[in-house]
Structure 1
Amino acid sequence: MDGLWVCRVLTKEVRAALVDVVSDGLEDITRRCGRLIHHDFKGKVQYMQELLRGHLPPFETLLAQNQGGRFIVGSQISFADYRLLDFLLNHQVLIPGRLDTLPLLSAYVARLSARPKLQAFLASPGHTNCPFSSALKI
């Protein structure tokens, strides 16, 4: 996603392509983090912090380029927003404070989490009683 630029006016096709780029980027990072979660070695969380330090700023850049960060792509919420929110919420559990240096991502998480239906889901027993990862004992 480095060097990715966003047009001021997105066509339907460009918007769909950018949603795919964001989703694929998240998939790559999720796979790398997933491998770490399921392998037991000292320094796992520190290694993940370093990994995320290099991979989260492009998402911050996309938010900055997209109308000040309301959504990751375009003017409407997309599945890429839900994937990014899930990823960021999970990593806030693993690495509290990780978004402190990324103000647009931090505000993005707060804003999307406050949407009424998402807020209700995040507070529901179906979400709060679900273990994060048995490998991490979280």
Structure 2
Amino acid sequence: MSGKPKLYYFDGRGRMESIRWLLAAAGIEFEEEILETREQYEALLKEGALLFEQVPMVQMDGMRLVQSRAIMQYIAAKYDLYGKNLKERLLIDMYVGGTTDLIEIIIPHQFLSPEDKQKHIKFIVQKAKERYFPVYEKILKEHGGKFLVGNQLSWADVQLLEGILMVEEKCADILPDFPRLKEFQQRISEIPTIKAFLQPGSKRKPAPDDKYVTTVRTVLQAYYNVKLNYIN
């Protein structure tokens, strides 16, 4: 197990996309083993490659890494995206945690029934406008720098940009009320490694479609419909 990191997941975003973002921001090339069949997944289970019988899994540095947050903490620390001291690391963890909560609201969208999808979009926009974006707008104002933490790019910046773009896919005009976030989005998007990841043909995944949903359900043998009670 050596060379480029190898990512084991479906051909879509899910909980692997933030890992792709972080590796891309660090300028690290990676390979992917796309899971398309139940047999591939069962082979990984039989091999003992999935510690908790779950993906995502990343193979790098002679290890098989599982649990999304642990994977990203390792990557951020390894590639100098995790602050300069304990206080900065704490702030990064806090900000990443908030953005992750927002992303976790968005991830189930494609798995919802058609009648729930419009309600879900309204819920996403409400949470972004009322809970999450005002916090980051305030942080950027008070910090006064180009980045959320310290004076260099961190995991927190990468995660927030991903979250902003995911919300914009559901509501394109959401940022006019958050001018600092808009400036942040434009500025971080111009960082060369991130700019490359945002270009067509990169390993960034598009918004999930019905094919992705069918594959996930087939591989994981999960055929139920997701129902989010909090949007009713």
TM range (shorter): 0.7 to 0.9
Q: Does 1:73 align with 2:122?
A: no
The residue correspondences of 1:57-72 to structure 2 (distance < 5 A) are: 57-67=134-144, 69-72=145-148
Distance 1:117 1:32 in 2: 27
Report if aligned partners of 1:71, 1:77 keep a CA contact under 8 Å in 2: yes
Amino acid corresponding to residue 168 of structure 2 in structure 1: Q
* Structure 1 partner of 2:208: 133
Q: Does 1:53 align with 2:129?
A: yes
Match for residue 188 of structure 2 among 112, 119, 129: 112
Number of matched pairs: 125
**Which entry has the higher C-alpha Rg, 1 or 2?**
2
Distance 1:36 1:52 in 2: 15
* Structure 2 partner of 1:24: 97
Distance 2:119 2:97 in 1: 27
Give the secondary structure class of the aligned counterpart of 2:153: coil
Report if aligned partners of 2:128, 2:167 keep a CA contact under 8 Å in 1: no
Distance 1:12 1:85 in 2: 23
The residue correspondences of 1:6-25 to structure 2 (distance < 5 A) are: 12-25=85-98
Give the secondary structure class of the aligned counterpart of 1:71: coil
Gaps of 5+ in 1: 1-9
Distance 1:123 1:36 in 2: 24
Query: TM-score w.r.t. structure 2 length?
Result: 0.49
Structure 1 residues 32-87: Cα deviation after superposition (integer angstroms, max 9, x where no partner): 232345322142212211111112100111111112x4101111110111111111
Q: CA deviation at 1:117?
A: 2.3
Give the secondary structure class of the aligned counterpart of 2:202: helix
Report if aligned partners of 2:100, 2:159 keep a CA contact under 8 Å in 1: no
Amino acid corresponding to residue 134 of structure 2 in structure 1: P
Residues 53 and 132 of structure 1, relative CA distance in 2, 3 Å threshold: same
- Superposition CA RMSD, Å: 2.2
Distance 1:132 1:11 in 2: 34
Give the secondary structure class of the aligned counterpart of 1:43: helix
Match for residue 174 of structure 2 among 98, 102, 105: 98
**Runs of 4+ in structure 1 displaced over 4 angstroms?**
none
Give the secondary structure class of the aligned counterpart of 1:98: coil
Q: Of Structure 1 and Structure 2, which has the larger fraction of its residues in helix?
A: 1
Report if aligned partners of 1:37, 1:44 keep a CA contact under 8 Å in 2: no
- State the percentage of identical aligned residues: 22
Q: Of Structure 1 and Structure 2, which has the larger fraction of its residues in strand?
A: 2
